[in-house]
Amino acid sequence: MFSPATTHRTITTLTQELIHATNLDANSAHISIPATPSQDLTRSATTSPVHSPARPPMLYMPSCASNGMAFTLEERQQLNIHGLLPPCFLSQDVQVLRILVNFERQTSDLDRYILLMGLQDRNEKLFYKVLTSNIERFLPIVYTPTVGLACQQYGLAFRRPRGLFITIHDRGHIATMLKSWPEDAIRAIVVTDGERILGLGDLGCYGMGIPVGKLALYTACGGMKPQECLPVILDVGTDNEELLKDPLYIGLRHKRVRGQAYNDLLDEFMQAVTFRYGMNCLIQFEDFANANAFRLLNKYRNKYCTFNDDIQGTAAVAVAGLLAALRITENKLSDHTILFQGAGEAALGIANLIIMAMQKEGTPEQEAIKKIWMVDSKGLIVKERSSLTTEKERFAHKHDEMKNLEDIVRAIKPTVLIGVAAIGGAFTKQILKDMASFNKQPIIFALSNPTSKAECSAEQCYQMTEGRGIFASGSPFDPVTLPSGRTFYPGQGNNAYVFPGVALGVVSCGLRYISEEIFLTTAEVIAQQVSKKHLEEGRLYPPLVTIRDVSLKIAVKVSDFTYSNKTASFYPEPEDKEAFIRSQVYSTDYDSFVVDSYVWPEEAMKIQTGNL
C-alpha cells in the first residue's frame, strides 16, 4: 500500500497527504452530518434511542472491534458513540498516515515500540495494517533488535496485559487460569520462561515481550488471526540480581525455581493447554536456557504439537541462507567445512539440520558430522575434552585443544563461519581477513542478536574480504557501498521467515507432531524464493516486503508434506490447499461493524484490567 520511502518523508509532507486524503479543505477539518438520518436511526428529544442504553460505549470495546474514526455515522449512532468522536470520518488508509506521522516524531526506537504497542491495545486492525504497510521498516521495531531493549525496560513500558502470566506458585490452577483468557479458540501459543532472552540473558518476567512480539509476527508475516494466538510467560523467578533489586520489576522476586517443581509446572502447563484448546494447538517454545531447551523439546516433541524456535526455527533460516549461498559458490553443502562460534541450542540446531541436508545430497551421516566443528566458552570442542553434553559430544573431533578463535580459524580453515554465541565483535578483522585468504568466497554468518551482540557488521565483513564475503546476520544492517562502487544489501537471517509460515501450515492441516523434515522443507522453500538478482545484490533471503507470500508458500508446502505423510488430522483434504489456506488468513481491513459484536461492560472491564 505504501512504499518503503513513505515512512521517511517529513512530517509536513505526511500531514499534507493526510489532509488531501480526507478530501477536505485545509481550512475545514470536518465533514458535515446529514440533516436527515436514515429512517431507522431517526431520533428526537421525545423518542427513545433505537439501541439499549445498557450497550457499552466505545471505551469498553476490545481493540479487535474498534474502527476508530472510520466508524460511519450509522455505526456511531447504533453504538451510541455519536458525539464521542470528532465529526470527521477518516478512512483506514488515512489513519495509517496519522500513525506514520506520530511514528516519525518519536526520538528513539523504544519510543516507537511503545507507540506501536499502544496502537495494538487500542485498534488491532490498524496496528496490523501499519505493520504490513512496510514490514521492512516496522519489523525491527516490534521484534529484533528493539524488542530486546523493550524487554529490558518492560517494567517501564508495561501498560496493560497482552498475555497470560503463569507463575511457579500457580501449580494446580493452570487449567483455571487458562479459562480467564477471553478467547476460547486458541490455535497457537508462544511460551517462554525468560531465562535466555535473545543474547541478553535472564530477564525473568520481562521476557513477556518476546511471546508478544513473536505472535505479532505470526499475524503480520503469516496471516494468523491474532485472536487465535496467546502469549505466555512462565515466571519461576529470576537469577538476575539487578532485577531482584529493581523496585520497578513486575515479576516474582526470588531465585529461579528448578528441579522437580519446575518440571511439574511445565507438565501441567502442556496438559492444561491441550485439554482446553485441543491436541492441535501449536505450542512454540522460545528463549529457554540451553539445559532446558533441548530437554523439553525431546520430552514433548512426540507428545504435543510443539517446536523450539531457537533450535529449529534458527536452524531453518540459517540452512536456507546456506542453500542460497550454494548458488554463488556453485558447489554442494557437503563440500564445505563449517565452524560454529557457539555450541548452544542455535548452533546445535543448525548443525543437525545441516547434517540432514547433507544426507539428502547423498552424504553419509558420519561423513557429514566430520565437516562440522564447534567452539564454546572453553574453546574448540575436541574428543579429549571431558564433561561434554550428549549434544556437543556428537561434534567432538580428534584435534589438539585450542582456545583462541583466531588460532582455531587458521587451523581448521573453514569455508563457512557461523556466529551464534552472542559475543559482539567475535569475528575480528584478522579472522575476516584470514577467511578471505583461504577462501575465494567465504561464507560468514553473524547471527547473534540484538545488533550489539553481532559477531561483526556487514560493513566489516565486506571490507575485510574485499567484497568477496557472502554475509548474513541475525540483526538488520544497512546497505554497504565499497570504494569500488558496488553496493551490497546484507541479508537478515530472521526467524520471521520461518515460524509464521510453519505455524500457518501446521494449524491449517491440524498437524499434531512437528518433525525435523518440516524445517528442512521450510529452508528449501525460503531459498527458492531468492532470485539471481537478489544474490547479485548480496541478499541470501527474499526481501522482507515479500514475507507474507513466502509464509504462504511455506504453509502450502507444510500442508502438502503433512497430507502426503498422512499426519494431518483435518479432513477432507483440501483440493486446492493454497486457496484453502488463503481463506484462513487474517484481513487487516476494517469490517462493517456488527452491533452485537462488542463485549458488555462487565466483560470489558476484565480486558481493561491493568490499564494504567
Q: 379-380 and 372-376: which strand pairing? A: antiparallel
Using CA atoms of 71, 72, 76, 79 in order, give the dihedral in degrees to the nearest 10.
Answer: -70
Q: Is 196 known to sit in a ligand binding site? A: yes
Question: Which residues in 136-178 belong to E strands, given as ranges?
Answer: 164-167
Amino acid identity at 116? L
3-state secondary structure of 162: coil
Contact predicate 612/159, CB 8 Å: yes
Residue whose grid cell is 564433561:
387
Residue whose grid cell is 579429549:
384
- Annotated catalytic, 143? yes
Q: 306-308 and 338-341: which strand pairing? A: unpaired
The number of residues in the chain equals 612
Cell (9 digits) for 296: 523439553
Contact predicate 337/413, CB 8 Å: yes
Q: Is 121 known to sit in a ligand binding site? A: no
Residue whose grid cell is 496471516:
223
Contact predicate 194/238, CB 8 Å: yes
Of 60, 128, 143, 541, the catalytic one is 143
Contact predicate 378/408, CB 8 Å: no
Give the count of alpha carbons within 13 A of 192, CB side only.
31
- Give the list of residues 6+ apart from residue 171 with CB closer than 8 angstroms, or none: 261, 264, 265, 268
Of 125, 129, 214, 453, the catalytic one is 214
Distances (CA, A) of 376 to 348, 373, 498, 510: 11, 10, 26, 39
CA distance 334 to 353: 13
CA distance 464 to 595: 63
Q: Is 170 known to sit in a ligand binding site? A: no
> How close are the terminal C-alpha atoms of the chain, in Å?
34
Amino acid identity at 473? S
CA distance 77 to 181: 31
Residue whose grid cell is 499475524:
219
Contact predicate 569/517, CB 8 Å: no
Cell (9 digits) for 128: 496490523
Q: Is 361 known to sit in a ligand binding site? A: no
Q: Is 449 known to sit in a ligand binding site? A: yes
Residue whose grid cell is 500457518:
504
Q: Is 286 known to sit in a ligand binding site? A: yes
Residue 171, classified by CB atoms within 10 Å of its CB into exposed (0-12), middle (13-18) or buried (19+), is middle
Contact predicate 129/92, CB 8 Å: yes
CA distance 351 to 357: 10
Point out the residues that are catalytic.
143, 214
| Residues tagged in the binding site annotation for (S)-malate | 196, 449, 494
| Residues tagged in the binding site annotation | 196, 286-287, 310, 449, 494
| Residues tagged in the binding site annotation for a divalent metal cation | 286-287, 310
